[in-house]
Amino acid sequence: MKKNRLVAVWIIALCLAFSINAFAKYLDIEDPFFSYKRFYLQLDILNDVSDDKNIRNDIKAFVRNLAAGIYAISADDLKKAKVKLLKARAIWPEYFGTDFLLARANEDTGNYKLSAQFYKSYLNKLKALSEGSYRISAPLIRGITPYRIEDYDDAYAYVQHRLKDHGIDLAVVQPFYTMPGFLKLLIALVILGSGYAVMAYGVIPYIKRLRHINNPPEGMWVCKKCDAYNFNIRVECEKCGEIRSKITCLRSSHK
């Protein structure tokens, strides 16, 4: 009996040792994966790309903003880093690395919800790249990435595990699509535009027409159907044949 218990204890101890060892190996992989430093190596390649006269200006602008964002991170200026990285992302949305860096920057500033959205966007773009969806930009993405681009399934597992520490379920996170401030501005512009259209093409023309109908020149009346002027002696409109209304007649007689 004691021998069986001893064997059971040894089995449990071996299982725990194996689990701890496996978890330690996982952490050894996970920590470098979430390091900013794995993107620093891109700077030399990006600078070479930006100096190429054959590269379009928008790619050069992306390079400048991404490089500035990475430098800001290295200087621990995360506020500036996020501004520059958002500009780079707007210029070239397909590059997954920008979303990853934005996720890390927001995570380090305590904005875990926004960080999770950028992580989800990063994963979606990484998956699209691995599935061949970026046929035009894929060669450039791979060209500016000096290391082997991470496997999507592995990246998903790392991010999922990390977000659990912040109480976030990656499966229900929506990817980051646009800046909240820009969305508010867009809604405001739509509302203002709609209001202007209603006033310019609805209310103002209606008021002008009412003034036109109710204030004809002396001795005349206005047809409510075609807005034409008619002399008071006419009962029907000279232009469209519409019969003059009794209300219009009374108003004209009072004048």
What is the structure's pLDDT at 125? 94
23 lies in some domain: no
89 lies in some domain: yes
212 lies in some domain: yes
Partners of residue 236 on adjacent β-strands: 243
**Are 189 and 109 found together in one domain?**
no
What is the structure's pLDDT at 15? 37
CB neighbour list of residue 214: distance below 8 Å, 6 or more residues apart: 222, 251
Listed residues 151, 177, 203: the one ending a domain:
177
Neighbours of 173 (CB within 10 A): 20
What is the structure's pLDDT at 29? 45
**Are 160 and 200 found together in one domain?**
no
**φ and ψ of 216, to 5 deg:** -75, 165
**Are 146 and 54 found together in one domain?**
yes
Listed residues 128, 143, 177: the one ending a domain:
177
Domain count across the chain = 2
**Are 244 and 162 found together in one domain?**
no
What is the structure's pLDDT at 52? 59
- Give the integer Cα–Cα distance in Å for 22 and 2: 30
**Are 57 and 152 found together in one domain?**
yes
CATH number at residue 165: 1.25.40
Q: Pick the closest to residue 249 from 236, 241, 238, 239 (CA basis).
A: 236
**Are 71 and 162 found together in one domain?**
yes
Q: The domain containing residue 165 runs over which residues? A: 34-177
Q: Pick the closest to residue 213 from 205, 224, 203 (CA basis).
A: 224
**Are 39 and 152 found together in one domain?**
yes
- Give the integer Cα–Cα distance in Å for 42 and 60: 14
**Are 199 and 167 found together in one domain?**
no
- Give the integer Cα–Cα distance in Å for 104 and 75: 15
162 lies in some domain: yes
20 lies in some domain: no
Contact 96, 126 (CB under 8 A): yes
What is the structure's pLDDT at 40? 66
Coil, strand, or helix at residue 191? helix
Listed residues 153, 177, 201: the one ending a domain:
177
Element (H, E) at 12: helix 2-33
**Are 171 and 75 found together in one domain?**
yes
Q: Pick the closest to residue 43 from 24, 65, 21, 23 (CA basis).
A: 65
pTM above 0.85, yes or no: no
Contact 97, 42 (CB under 8 A): yes
What is the structure's pLDDT at 14? 37
Q: Divide the 255 residues of the chain into consecutive groups of 10 and give the mean pLDDT of each group.
A: 45 37 39 79 55 68 87 91 93 92 94 94 94 87 79 94 92 77 59 73 78 78 83 81 63 48
**Are 162 and 48 found together in one domain?**
yes
Contact 143, 44 (CB under 8 A): no
